[in-house]
Structure 1
Amino acid sequence: MDTASAAPTDAPRRFSGPVALRDALLGALLQATEAGVPRIECIDADFAAWPLDDARLLRSLTAWARGPQRRLFMLAREFDDVARRHPRFTVWRRQFAHAVECRAAPEVDRSEFPALLLAGDVGLQAGAGPRFAGRWLDEDADRRTWRGVVEAITQRSEAAFPAHPLGL
């Protein structure tokens, strides 16, 4: 397995708990940005448990976004609390609006909304329930299946979380 595939070699295949979830998401995001994966897909109902304000992640995202044809795709049920929970990420998103696409699908029931990170050969499925359980998506078939689910939700979504909100 090369360094750009699946979980870092020292990471467990499954994890549980809010700290383990945060560490897994952070590790996967850092791995994807450092590998220069051109498209990173982040899917979650509200991104409440994601480490989007982590300073190391924002530095890594900055270097990554300066590369050619980079796209951070974010799909949420809603982005209402992202600016409040992740203010540094919100500022970063304004600076790199050319590389970020945010879409919302509020009609999708929260219980049906997946929590995923898909970036090349890196895949992570997370759950916010009481245990914050999740697993690495090591198989291409798993990542393909989840990409199909994401595509179906994306078709019912709309542009959201503008980089520069309009105001009077």
Structure 2
Amino acid sequence: MPDDTPLTPGPFDGPSAFAERLRETIRVAGGRAWPTLWLCDAGFTDWPIGEAGVIDALQAWAGSARRLRLVMQDDRLLRARHPRFVAWRQRWDHIIDCRLCAASDAADLPSALWTPGWTVERHDPARSRGSSSDSPAAVASLRQRLDDVFARGRPGFPASILGL
């Protein structure tokens, strides 16, 4: 049965409002059967992706025919800040594609969550100001920008790090 839980559209202002929009979107992702989620940020340091509730929601969403794409500048920050997410990523390696962007591409890197029917994007990451929308134009525009930065990125954030 599809999830008809309403998502909050429009502008948001501040880190807690941004984090709540992300939590809300990830919570309904499984019920809406969105096949793909994109998470994009320089380092995900202030995202709630390491919280137990968010991991539970990602777990509920994940499964066959699902794909998570991550785009970031540096995975060291994510690894240090979100160990629960790193552990979840290891279990779901087969549905996750990660790209790291060069420092020169960092200015073009959105701070956003994309789904086929919904976006949450910070237009001013320093102040955590942005908006969320189900507008087809917003969804298509963000997807095009994410495709561009993903294509320029190199594989990164491996499920495991082998060493000597």
Of 26, 29, 35, the match for 1:29: 26
- Percent identity over the alignment is 29
TM-score by length of 1: 0.88
1:156 equivalent to 2:152? Answer yes
**8 Å Cα contact 1:4/1:122 also seen in 2:** no
Q: How does 1:48-87 map to 2 (within 5 A)?
A: 48-65=45-62, 67-87=63-83
**8 Å Cα contact 1:103/1:159 also seen in 2:** yes
**Distance apart, 1:4 and its partner CA:** 5.9
Q: Structure 1 CA distance, aligned partners of 2:4 and 2:109? A: 26
CA-to-aligned-CA distance 1:94-118 (integer Å, 9 cap, x gap): 1111111111112444333211111
CA-to-aligned-CA distance 1:63-86 (integer Å, 9 cap, x gap): 222x32111110112212111100
1:20 equivalent to 2:47? Answer no
Q: Structure 1 CA distance, aligned partners of 2:73 and 2:17? A: 23
Q: What is the match of residue 132 of structure 2?
A: 136
Q: Structure 1 CA distance, aligned partners of 2:9 and 2:151? A: 33
CA-to-aligned-CA distance 1:39-61 (integer Å, 9 cap, x gap): 10111111111111111111121
TM-score by length of 2: 0.90
SS at match of 1:28: helix
Query: Cα RMSD between the aligned structures?
Result: 1.9
Q: Structure 2 CA distance, aligned partners of 1:33 and 1:75? A: 21
What runs of 5+ residues in structure 1 fail to find an aligned partner?
none
Count of aligned positions: 162
**8 Å Cα contact 2:19/2:47 also seen in 1:** yes
**8 Å Cα contact 2:55/2:88 also seen in 1:** yes
